[in-house]
Structure 1
Amino acid sequence: MIFPLEAVHRVNVLVVGDVMLDRYWFGEVERISPEAPVPVVRVARREDRLGGAANVARNIVAMGARATLLGIVGADEAGEQIQALSSEAGVVARLVTDSALHTTLKMRVLGRQQQLLRIDFEQTPVKASLARIEAELSALVAKHDMLVLSDYAKGALGQVEALIRIARHAGVPVLVDPKGHMYKRYFGATMMTPNRAEMREAIGHWQTEEELASRAQALRTELELEALLVTRSEQGMTLFTQNGREHIDAQAHEVFDVSGAGDTVLAALAVTRAAGLDWGDAVKWANRAGGIVVGKLGTSVVTAGELT
């Protein structure tokens, strides 16, 4: 199977959702603090990376397509950094600034390549910011081949039902990475990509593959989805369409860090499907991309060169 790079170069994807900044402080641990029984990390290097929906957009560009990013940030340093990193990555960022909130920031402290601590800053955006997202999407969606909705439950997709309706009216397919169990919010999307835990939240625990298939197909029909992909970590991925069930085993790779792996899978699905591949082949490329990215430290990307 050859990666359709020439067709991917023509793909233009609109990514909407919860953008965040992943901040890493790398250091060495050589002693325990005299103030409390905790390690002292002497920070030697700092690095900021795009996270959430911004990481999806960055992966899309790394794979050779074009991406426009629509999300909400605060009027702060982290928001400015997301804008700067997006431009540096080749992502067209159309960020809505909400002065009432702090940009979603995940700060990780690592010692000897092991994560010791994570500190999260996050707030819910105001309704006025959501209205601006809806207006921007209405103006942009018809100029794109695919809409990707990246939901991390931070509030940027509080009106997701309206966004899906707008895209459907424009004839643009919608890929959703969902959050929580209220999947009726995503009614009318083209494809949804819950992970194993999220699927259990939505349909309950299953005992057999037949039981999973029955419940998954019922959910797909209820939500009028064209496809439903359940990502299952070391068990691979299972695709459900009107043609039935197709399972793809996970590729054998050493798992170093799963941060952002779902973003990479979503990006690969978007670019390959928009490039003309059927769902089965698109999932195979997404599986390959996910297998590569879990071997990297932190929120990372997979390039077209690595896929080929």
Structure 2
Amino acid sequence: MSLNFSQATVLVAGDVMLDRYWFGDTARISPEAPVPVVHVAKVRTTAGGAANVAVNIANLGARTSLISAIGRDAAGEDLTEILETARVNCHFLRADDFQTIIKLRLLARGQQVVRADFEKRPEREMLLPLSDLFTKQSAGHAVIVFSDYGKGGLTHLVSMMEHARRQNKVVLVDPKGSDYSAYRGATLLTPNRDEFAQVTGSWSNEEELERKAFSLCEHLELKALLVTRSEEGMSLFVEGRHVRIHAEAREVYDVSGAGDTVIGTLAVALASGYTLEDAAFLANRAAGVVVGKVGTAPILLEELERAIA
């Protein structure tokens, strides 16, 4: 089946990061400490966080712009180069006193041994220009995605949300934390199972899950809620209905970045005129592809076409 998303326009704002992967083998324990010695044979660098959302969108053939903050450092340059190669229009606030976020993962024999995070939370005042950037860029995009990783990049989200609602934009949010009040009025939230439970509490059956989901939709004035449930697939709550979508993955290797693929695919589909339900089914297929890959790896258009064929 052929898909054409070339007319879709999506603006992404949120926390960007650089994902580095060191791959190698291990055959002995260090004499210095009881840890494995890994001989690194391959290094891979990819876009992470909101940057990965934007790459997913661009890979599907849509036009996308990205707003975020990065440091004036080597990691920021590497991330910008990756994004420009992927045809993402970058609108970055570059700051001398800010460190581009890096997540470094060391893998041996296909298993993650350790992850090291390099990050420094930005000052609130430093990020004020992002609101102006958002106001300038939002007019030319049909759908807005806020990718919140809790790193501070969406410090001024409330004012951005207000502006997006005044423009009657479709607003998708990948949320973080236990307080969702800043996301009030969004079109769709996409928490995973654990994130949703953190906000609403656990549930013992589907009826209780539905009550919690519809209550949250009403409280936050959401049009819909999509809860990704890992091996249980997805649950879309829209217009008083609970739509169950079964998991598609044949083999789950790595769930890193799957949420980015879900919200990116949703955004492209909605910007192309899909209904929320059809967009969710498409996003589920896309997620089923990327969890079969190693590390943060975005969807490709031809992979999605094969998945729905």
**TM-score, scaled to structure 2:** 0.96
TM alignment of 1:89-128, pairs within 5 A: 89-128=86-125
1:171 to 151, 168, 173: 168
Task: Verify: 1:138 aligned to 2:135, yes or no.
Answer: yes
Task: Verify: 1:155 aligned to 2:152, yes or no.
Answer: yes
**1:110 CA drift (Å):** 1.2
1:69 alignment partner in structure 2: 66
1:233 alignment partner in structure 2: 230
Contact 1:20 / 1:105 at 8 angstroms: preserved in 2? Answer: yes
2:286 alignment partner in structure 1: 289
Runs (4+) of structure 1 exceeding 3 A deviation are none
1:200 to 175, 197, 200: 197
**1:66 CA drift (Å):** 1.3
Percent identity of the aligned residues?
48
Task: Verify: 1:269 aligned to 2:257, yes or no.
Answer: no
Distance in 1 of aligned mates of 2:48 and 2:297: 9
Distance in 2 of aligned mates of 1:242 and 1:221: 11
1:81 alignment partner in structure 2: 78
Letter in 1 for 2:97: A
Distance in 2 of aligned mates of 1:80 and 1:307: 30
Contact 2:249 / 2:292 at 8 angstroms: preserved in 1? Answer: no
Distance in 1 of aligned mates of 2:226 and 2:304: 20
1:222 alignment partner in structure 2: 219
Distance in 2 of aligned mates of 1:234 and 1:151: 23
**1:25 CA drift (Å):** 1.1
**1:294 CA drift (Å):** 0.3
**1:102 CA drift (Å):** 1.4
Structure 2, unaligned runs of 5 or more: none
Letter in 2 for 1:76: D
Deviations 1:72-128 (A, max 9, x none): 111211111111111111111111112222111000111122211110011111223
Deviations 1:186-223 (A, max 9, x none): 00111100110111111111111111111111110111
**TM-score, scaled to structure 1:** 0.97
What is the RMSD computed on CA atoms of the aligned residues? 1.1
**1:130 CA drift (Å):** 2.0
2:25 alignment partner in structure 1: 28
The more displaced of 35-44 and 148-157 is 35-44
Contact 2:71 / 2:99 at 8 angstroms: preserved in 1? Answer: yes
Aligned residues: 305
Structure 1, unaligned runs of 5 or more: none
Contact 1:98 / 1:125 at 8 angstroms: preserved in 2? Answer: no
**1:152 CA drift (Å):** 0.4
